Structure 1
Amino acid sequence: MSDDSALVLDGVFYRVPTLDILKGAYLKVEAGTVCGLFGRNGSGKTTLLKVAAGQIRPTSGLTIIDGERLHKPSKWRRFSKIAYLPQETMLPPDVKVQTVLRSAGMRIPNVRERVASLCDQEVRELSGGEKRLVEVEVVLGLDRDYVLLDEPFTGVEPLLIDEMCTRIEKAAECGKGIFVTDHYHQYIAPLAETAYLMWQKQCHQLQAEGSIENELEQIGYL
């Protein structure tokens, strides 16, 4: 892993006709680490993830992947390096979980026990939390260097969130760079080695000299 092993968003602006959503946002996700992004509803978190994933094109700014500058969306290059979990479910309802896993190139014996126990069920039979657990397993199991997780914990019961957190930690230990945002700050804060707060349409890096939650309290976010 070299010093350039990172996903960087640099000077990202995103405008719609009547509104500036991002104004020069900068963020860095190093390989082998978890980076947390905090912010209020409407602060631009999802927009930033979509820019990184190539889902939308910024008004200006760079995405840099392992030292390579991408001036244009370059979807093939992004998709070969980045896996993206959106807020909305991405699982087809009429197939079994084992089919979903195999279509993602995953071997059933290698997935976590809780996910393996769902393999014979159709997606439509799963609870919302179980669907999210399967989705997290899939995106983290893909052969990608960086994984973007948008609200993976929202609406999920605590025991399943604990399963997800363990899986995220394991993925980072194996060298993946994980970029995660969620309103459940109490789960992200212990995971994150670096963290940013979306404020005034920019990313402000948290110093976390004590703890991320303490700093969020000091600046009035919590």
Structure 2
Amino acid sequence: MNDDSALILDGVFYRVPSLDILQGVHLKAHAGAITGLFGRNGSGKTTLLKVAAGQIQPNSGLTIIDGTRLHKQSKWKRFSTIAYLPQESMLPPDVTVRTLVRSAGLSSHHVPDQLASSPTRTVRTLSGGERRLLEVAIVLGLERDYVLLDEPFTGVEPLLIDAIGRRIEEAAAQGTGVLLTDHYHQHVTPLADDAYVLWQKQCVPLDGDAPLHDQLVEMGYLRADAAARS
């Protein structure tokens, strides 16, 4: 895979008063692959995704999509190529599943089976897992070249975790580049083709030919007993 089919964040610095959050981050998410991003709470994972999505402006650094460098005036390119799922729920509570699907321009096959039989349910009547599954389906259904998923498995019941994982894998199989982070590492490692750890304000690449959880243990990100339980 080459840089002409990848989302690249290169030399990204982001700071707020009295605090450096990212210091020269480099990350590459290939088209048609799932890239896992690991890191402890507060390490800057969400900040990095927001930089990639164009929601915040870094102090310095490049975003490159399929070989094209994006400048400040190129937001249309970023927004037409990248879809972003934030940690927080993005769905209005009193809107029905049917209305949301239609508003997003999705076809019927994008609607999760768990919700297809109840199109008139409103968001507020959905469980946390059903809501997250619907959000993931909507974001993936936009069919952008790259999708950024921030904590898609958090608060989701086990059966729906499997459903979300399958949708992510299907999107990658169809050529979408997925950048995925979740503190439930055990749900990310089986999906990831490539992976990075945000460590000391930089992205450290992991070896795709070795078990990811073993490398996370070696780095001290996971305890050996925690990895064994997952």
Any idea what the Cα deviations from partners look like across 1:169-191, whole Å, max 9, x if unmatched?
Answer: 00000000000000111110010
Match of 2:196 in 1: 196
Match of 2:164 in 1: 164
SS in 2 for 1:74: helix
Is the alpha carbon distance of 1:2 and 1:205 closer, same or farther for their aligned partners in structure 2, counting shifts above 3 Å? closer
Match of 1:103 in 2: 103
Q: Which moved more, 1:43-52 or 1:151-160?
A: 151-160
Any idea what the Cα deviations from partners look like across 1:119-174, whole Å, max 9, x if unmatched?
Answer: 22011111111110000000001031000000011111111110000000000000
Give aligned pairs, total.
222
Q: Cα distance, 1:3 vs. partner?
A: 5.2
Q: Cα distance, 1:220 vs. partner?
A: 1.4
Q: Cα distance, 1:70 vs. partner?
A: 1.1
Match of 1:92 in 2: 92
Question: Using the alignment, how far apart are the partners of 1:47 and 1:99 within structure 2?
Answer: 31
Is the alpha carbon distance of 1:182 and 1:109 closer, same or farther for their aligned partners in structure 2, counting shifts above 3 Å? closer
Unaligned runs of 5+ in 1: none
**Amino acid aligned to 2:181:** T
Is the alpha carbon distance of 1:24 and 1:162 closer, same or farther for their aligned partners in structure 2, counting shifts above 3 Å? same
Segments of 4+ moved more than 3 angstroms:
none
User: What's the TM-score once normalised by structure 2's chain length?
Assistant: 0.93
**Amino acid aligned to 2:204:** H
Match of 1:128 in 2: 128
SS in 1 for 2:190: helix
1:144 and 2:107 correspond: no
Match of 2:68 in 1: 68
Question: Using the alignment, how far apart are the partners of 1:2 and 1:8 within structure 2?
Answer: 11
**Amino acid aligned to 2:26:** Y
Identity percentage over the alignment? 67
Question: Using the alignment, how far apart are the partners of 2:35 and 2:206 within structure 1?
Answer: 11
Is the alpha carbon distance of 1:92 and 1:214 closer, same or farther for their aligned partners in structure 2, counting shifts above 3 Å? same
Q: Which moved more, 1:114-123 or 1:170-179?
A: 114-123
RMSD: 1.4
Does the 8 Å CA contact 2:7/2:64 hold for their aligned counterparts? yes
Question: Using the alignment, how far apart are the partners of 1:23 and 1:109 within structure 2?
Answer: 42
**Amino acid aligned to 2:66:** D
Question: Using the alignment, how far apart are the partners of 1:102 and 1:209 within structure 2?
Answer: 42
Question: Using the alignment, how far apart are the partners of 1:149 and 1:114 within structure 2?
Answer: 21
Does the 8 Å CA contact 1:98/1:108 hold for their aligned counterparts? no
Does the 8 Å CA contact 1:35/1:179 hold for their aligned counterparts? yes
Any idea what the Cα deviations from partners look like across 1:36-78, whole Å, max 9, x if unmatched?
Answer: 0000000000000000000000000000001000132632111
